Amino acid sequence: MKVFLIAGARPNFMKIAPIYRESRKHDVDCKIVHTGQHYDYEMSQAFFDDLEIPEPDHFLDAGSGSHAVQTARIMTAFEKVCEKDRPDLVMVVGDVNSTLACSIVAKKLWIDVAHVEAGLRSHDMKMPEEINRMVTDSISDLFFVTEQSGVDNLLKEGKPRDRIHFVGHVMIDNLFYQVNRLEQGMKVQPAVQELKQKYGEYGFMTLHRPSNVDSRENLMTIFEALEEISRELPLIFPMHPRTKKMIERHGLELPENVVALDPLGFRDALYLWKDAVVVLTDSGGLQEETTALGVPCITIRENTERPITVELGTNILAGCSRKGILDAYGAQRSCRTEGRIPPKWDGRASERIWQTILK
């Protein structure tokens, strides 16, 4: 059986790593397709190295562009690959443009599609990821789900129950694997080690959603909150290229105690955030990873497609206003949220995925 495993953007790489590793235990020909949606060393190759993913079998070199341009480039290139090296199954992960583009191409060539991290819904159609999730799920054949809300959403949308598999979360498989690697003495960059020693107590922050960074006004409001927080807690901030570009374009300056860095590889970032006092983020994955390790998290968004992190985990959904962010910070500082680990987030999701496919 030949399976294409699709990855294109940074959050995909963490998800394909454990799926690929697990595939080696079975009689499957699992090939990695990298669409090239992310291409900078820090956004792509650094992750392949850290996560121990082999070189991709196919590289589509799509690069950046508007949504239509990027999606179209991936589709055109992926169609050629499928025609030359036809797989039995295309496995897509998450909700980025690469996920959408490759599932449409596969389906139109009558190739089955499995969606890993299916069923999540923010109900916010202004998020490109929500559109990607909904379209991908509307044509997928197999749904691998990370939390109960995903099962409920898919059933509500009329998907057959026997196609929906609540397997847990491959992102958490990767996280536990990498925490072990750190404990076994795997090295991080000396500069990152020095940073941790220098600050001791610090917050860790990521910010890259278009809704937060593309508008000057929204970004300024967030910076006002960060200014106050960072007066008592320095914030370490590896910066996404989109955010860096927007800060320059808007002519804004980061608050004084926000320590900006270039994007970090997976292990360097984990090394920092796992011991942070609090994580502030608008990423999807970090909401889940902080819940899995019990690190307090503040999500700078109005909604989340990952409600389990709020219901069971350590996440507070702060919204994007100055007051919302400061209130959430106050709450996390005065009474650290004691979270629980969600069901099936036990590091064995990839194992369940292959068992299901091979059955």
Give CA–CA dist 286/275, Å, rounded: 14
Name which of residues 182 to 211 contact ligand UD1 (CB under 6 A).
208
Contact present, 116 and 53 (Cβ < 8 Å): no
Interacting residue with ligand UD1 among 29, 40, 194, 232 (CB under 6 A): 40
CB of 111 to ligand UD1, least distance (A): 22
Contact present, 98 and 116 (Cβ < 8 Å): no
Give CA–CA dist 208/281, Å, rounded: 9
Could you tell me how many residues of this chain bind ligand UD1 (CB under 6 A)? 19
Which secondary structure element, helix H or strand E, spans residue 292, and what is its range? helix 284-293
Of the two residues 9 and 247, which places its CB atom closer to ligand UD1 in the complex? 9
Name the one range near ligand UD1 by CB under 6 A: 38-46, 111-119, 295-303, 305-313. 38-46
Joined together, the tokens standing for residue 110 give: 């009558």
Joined together, the tokens standing for residue 328 give: 């959430």
Interacting residue with ligand UD1 among 96, 116, 295, 353 (CB under 6 A): 96
Q: From residue 287, how far is each of 2, 9, 294 by CA, in Å?
A: 33, 18, 11
Residue 166 binds ligand UD1, judged by CB under 6 A: no
CB of 99 to ligand UD1, least distance (A): 8
Give CA–CA dist 222/318, Å, rounded: 11
Picking from 139, 181, 162, 169, the residue whose alpha carbon sits closest to that of residue 52 is 181
Name the one range near ligand UD1 by CB under 6 A: 23-31, 192-200, 238-246, 323-331. 238-246
Interacting residue with ligand UD1 among 13, 22, 33, 37 (CB under 6 A): 37
Question: Is 208 considered catalytic here?
Answer: yes
Residue 11 binds ligand UD1, judged by CB under 6 A: yes
CB of 48 to ligand UD1, least distance (A): 13
Give CA–CA dist 66/72, Å, rounded: 10
Residue 238 binds ligand UD1, judged by CB under 6 A: no
Which residue's entry shows tokens 């020095």?
194
Name the one range near ligand UD1 by CB under 6 A: 225-233, 239-247, 309-317, 343-351. 239-247
Give CA–CA dist 328/311, Å, rounded: 15
CB of 136 to ligand UD1, least distance (A): 12
Residue 301 binds ligand UD1, judged by CB under 6 A: no
Name which of residues 312 to 341 contact ligand UD1 (CB under 6 A).
none
* Count of helix runs (H) and strand runs (E) in the chain: 16, 13
Q: What is the DSSP letter of 256?
A: T
Joined together, the tokens standing for residue 250 give: 């808007």
Interacting residue with ligand UD1 among 35, 97, 122, 281 (CB under 6 A): 97
Q: From residue 275, how far is each of 3, 9, 260, 324 by CA, in Å?
A: 37, 26, 18, 24
Of the two residues 38 and 159, which places its CB atom closer to ligand UD1 in the complex? 38
Give CA–CA dist 284/14, Å, rounded: 13
CB of 270 to ligand UD1, least distance (A): 16
Task: Give residue 233's Cα distance to chain centre.
Answer: 26
Helices (H), 216-348: 216-232, 241-250, 266-273, 284-293, 308-311, 322-334
Residue 151 binds ligand UD1, judged by CB under 6 A: no
CB of 167 to ligand UD1, least distance (A): 22
Measured between its terminal Cα atoms, the distance across the chain in Å is 12
Of the two residues 241 and 255, which places its CB atom closer to ligand UD1 in the complex? 241
Of the two residues 117 and 351, which places its CB atom closer to ligand UD1 in the complex? 117
Picking from 144, 51, 162, 41, the residue whose alpha carbon sits closest to that of residue 99 is 144
Interacting residue with ligand UD1 among 21, 26, 28, 39 (CB under 6 A): 39
In the set 123, 208, 240, 250, the catalytic residue is 208
Name the one range near ligand UD1 by CB under 6 A: 9-17, 20-28, 173-181, 320-328. 9-17
Interface with ligand UD1 (CB under 6 A): 9-11, 37-40, 43, 64, 70, 96-97, 128-129, 208, 240-242, 245
What is the set of active-site residues? 208
